[in-house]
Amino acid sequence: PDNASPLLVSHYISPKMAVLLKQKGIEYVDCAGNLYLNKMPLYIEIGGQKHAPKPPGADRLFRTAGLKLVYQFLRNKQSLNATYRMLADDAGIALGAIGSLFGELEKRGNLIIEDGQRQLHAIEELLQRWQLGYLETLRPKLLLQRCQLAPGYSIAQLPERLKQLPDGKQVLIGGELGASLMVSGFVPQSAVFYLTPEQQLKLMLQLHLTPDPNGSITMLQPFGRKCSWTGWQPEGLTLADPLLTFAELSGSETDQVAQKLYNQYLAPRLR
């Protein structure tokens, strides 16, 4: 409505910030119990409620190690019942972290145990939270380089160029380029390559790529042992797992492609 005004909802609003908000006429409420409503039919002000500190280890599930482990579960639900050592090796994380991460999954309601078997629960919510954590926390730590193509080349030509390289199959293809190879009728505008730091410079020279912080090609370092897809692969190429490719498609222009990717490759896993 025309007479509507903003209401700020926050985990915590400090006393200093509360004063500034009231001066601007902005109503607010936070999780500590501080509240300011100044319009009909409610006039309420509660202040001085202190910020409750987070318990040690809170949100560890969506830090680097936790995101790598959750990836294993979303990729293959059966891995929930693998040994701790196998999970640590596959995810590329410390063995000692597995137990506490399982505990956090259970506290969040994403893990239940029936007849001695672990099962994922509220999977859709976990997938959404993992995708956000991947983009905000894990992906920046995997970044090796962003590059731009040399003039005269296009993203769509990259698969054929990779096929011509002796070690082209060692590069995992993801992002929009990977999605275009899984979903027909989509023209990619960018690409993600998963490769080791030792492969990076060689591939840049072979494909005539130049460093560019705004480039359309992103090089990421794979983690653990399960970043490649075990399903269908185009001849002479290697695709990254559809879960990683799905996570990269977060823009409005790729929403339809992401939905197709989800319906065709992820939904059957998560059922």
DSSP 251: S
Say what the pLDDT of residue 189 is: 94
Strand order in the sheet with 7-10: 7-10, 27-30, 35-39, 42-46
Tens-digit pLDDT profile for residues 258-267: 999 999 999 9
Averaged confidence pLDDT in the chain: 93
Reported as a single tens digit per residue, the pLDDT across 38-97 is 988 889 999 988 877 655 555 789 999 999 999 999 999 999 999 999 999 999 999 999
**166: cis peptide before it, omega within 30°?**
no
How does residue 107 score in pLDDT terms, banded at 50, 70 and 90? very high
Task: Please report which confidence band the pLDDT of residue 241 belongs to, taking 50, 70 and 90 as the band edges.
Answer: very high
Contact 213, 146 (CB under 8 A): yes
Is the whole-model pTM more than 0.85?
no
User: Is 121 in contact with 112 (CB distance < 8 Å)?
Assistant: yes
Q: What residue type is 5 in one-letter code?
A: S
Average pLDDT over residues 104-126: 93
Q: What is the pLDDT of residue 54?
A: 58
Does pLDDT of 220 surpass 70?
yes
| pLDDT at residue 254 in the model | 86
The set of residues, in sequence order, having a beta carbon less than 8 Å from that of 200 and lying 6+ positions away, is 144, 145, 219
pLDDT tens figures, 152-205: 999 999 999 999 999 999 999 999 999 999 998 899 999 999 999 999 999 999
d(CA 108, CA 122): 9
DSSP β-bridge partners for residue 192: 174, 218
Q: How confident is the model at residue 252 (pLDDT cuts 50, 70, 90)?
A: low
Q: Residue 32, SS3?
A: coil
pLDDT of res. 53: 65
Over residues 4-23, the mean pLDDT reads 91
